[in-house]
């Protein structure tokens, strides 16, 4: 459906201007100027439910994030398609090198803690089940699941046993650099389509590995988040960095069978499988796996 048609449904009879926003792989986002206000119209891509995305859950999580002044204000929700309309956030992207600075790490840790301590959001996110579902979906769409999957799955089983029964908390689960904005006062987070109740250490690890944190930055993140640095937390972070890349790799595998975009998902999956292999080969990771 054309974005103009959707915008007319949201703002019937009103004059609006549409401007495409870049940066997304799965969705199409448009900046909409209407009656002196600026919003973002988010149109989900084809077959995104096969990636584990539930647009009603995204909407509910976005509402909670907005109430916490972390996500943008939710203006509307177009049903039954599940297109989301949010207030445009005036902010700037945060470069990778800036994300690694101690003062920025402290700000992000405070934002994540605010999310994790916030109200329950709809939906569940379990990285151990997600990779299994992705493998089944990929196979059902004619994609050969890489040999790396079986090896990674065996390690994931040990990580799941080590993590035990963690009480789920509200999580974003897709903390890519592009999903952060600095509005001048606080760090904001957009794109809540993978949000759900889950393991806080998946969020922390997802943020850490997506920003290529070294040991010092990981320690700074955990100390800022918990107020104290504990060996067991550092071990959990190392283990879940593996799961972050495992999820991302299998996301790329699924996309090979369902996406119509001109994007090299084979290379994307290979990149993340390569990184999780390097993670698994680290002595600190092996110690964390054996400690639990």
Tens digit of each residue's pLDDT (9 = 90 or more) over 176-208: 999 999 999 899 999 999 999 999 999 999 999
Residue in the structure block whose two tokens are 């974005």: 3
- How long is the chain? 292
Residue in the structure block whose two tokens are 């840790």: 109
Q: Does an H or E element contain 42, and which?
A: strand 37-43
pTM of the entire predicted model: 0.93
Tokens of 109: 């840790």
* Residue ranges of domains in the chain, CATH in brackets: 3-87 (3.30.200.20), 96-291 (3.90.1200.10)
Tokens of 6: 């959707």
Question: ∠ CA 227-233-235 to the nearest 5 degrees?
Answer: 150
**Residue 72, helix vs strand vs coil:** coil
Kindly state the average pLDDT of the residues 112-129.
96
* Contact residues for 143 (Cβ-Cβ < 8 A; gap 6+): 253, 254, 256, 257
DSSP 146: P
Alpha helices (H) in 45-146, listed in sequence order: 55-67, 96-99, 102-116, 127-140
Q: Is the pLDDT of residue 259 over 80?
A: yes
pLDDT digit string (tens) for 99-111? 999 999 999 999 9
> What is the predicted pLDDT for the residue at 261?
79
What does the alpha-carbon distance between residue 86 and residue 3 come to, in Å, rounded to a whole number?
15
Q: Is the pLDDT of residue 292 over 70?
A: no
> What is the predicted pLDDT for the residue at 2?
79
The answer to whether the bond into 80 is cis (omega within 30° of 0) is: yes
């Amino acid at each position: 459906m054309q974005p103009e048609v959707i915008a007319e449904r949201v703002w019937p009879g009103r004059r609006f201007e549409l401007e495409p926003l870049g940066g997304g792989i799965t969705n199409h986002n448009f900046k909409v100027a209407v009656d002196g206000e600026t919003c973002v119209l988010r149109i989900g891509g084809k077959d995104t439910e096969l990636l584990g995305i539930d647009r009603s859950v995204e909407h509910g999580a976005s509402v909670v994030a907005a109430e916490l002044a972390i996500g943008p204000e939710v203006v509307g929700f177009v049903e039954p398609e599940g297109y989301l309309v949010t207030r445009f956030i005036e902010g700037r992207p945060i470069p990778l090198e800036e994300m690694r600075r101690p003062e920025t790490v402290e700000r992000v840790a405070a934002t994540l803690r605010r999310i994790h301590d916030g109200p329950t959001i709809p939906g569940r996110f379990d990285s151990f089940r997600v990779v299994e579902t992705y493998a089944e979906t990929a196979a059902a769409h004619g994609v050969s699941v890489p040999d790396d999957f079986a090896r990674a799955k065996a390690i994931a089983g040990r990580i799941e046993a080590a993590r035990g029964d963690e009480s789920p908390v509200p999580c974003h689960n897709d903390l890519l650099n592009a999903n952060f904005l600095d509005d001048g006062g606080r760090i904001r987070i957009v794109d809540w389509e993978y949000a759900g109740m889950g393991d806080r250490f998946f969020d922390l690890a997802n943020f850490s590995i997506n920003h290529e944190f070294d040991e010092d930055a990981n320690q700074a993140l955990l100390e800022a988040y918990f107020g104290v640095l504990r060996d067991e937390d550092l071990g959990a972070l190392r283990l879940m960095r593996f799961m972050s890349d495992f999820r991302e790799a299998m996301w790329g595998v699924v996309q090979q069978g369902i996406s119509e975009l001109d994007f090299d998902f084979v290379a994307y999956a290979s990149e993340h499988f390569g990184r999780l292999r390097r993670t698994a080969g680290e002595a600190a990771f092996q110690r964390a796996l054996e400690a639990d």
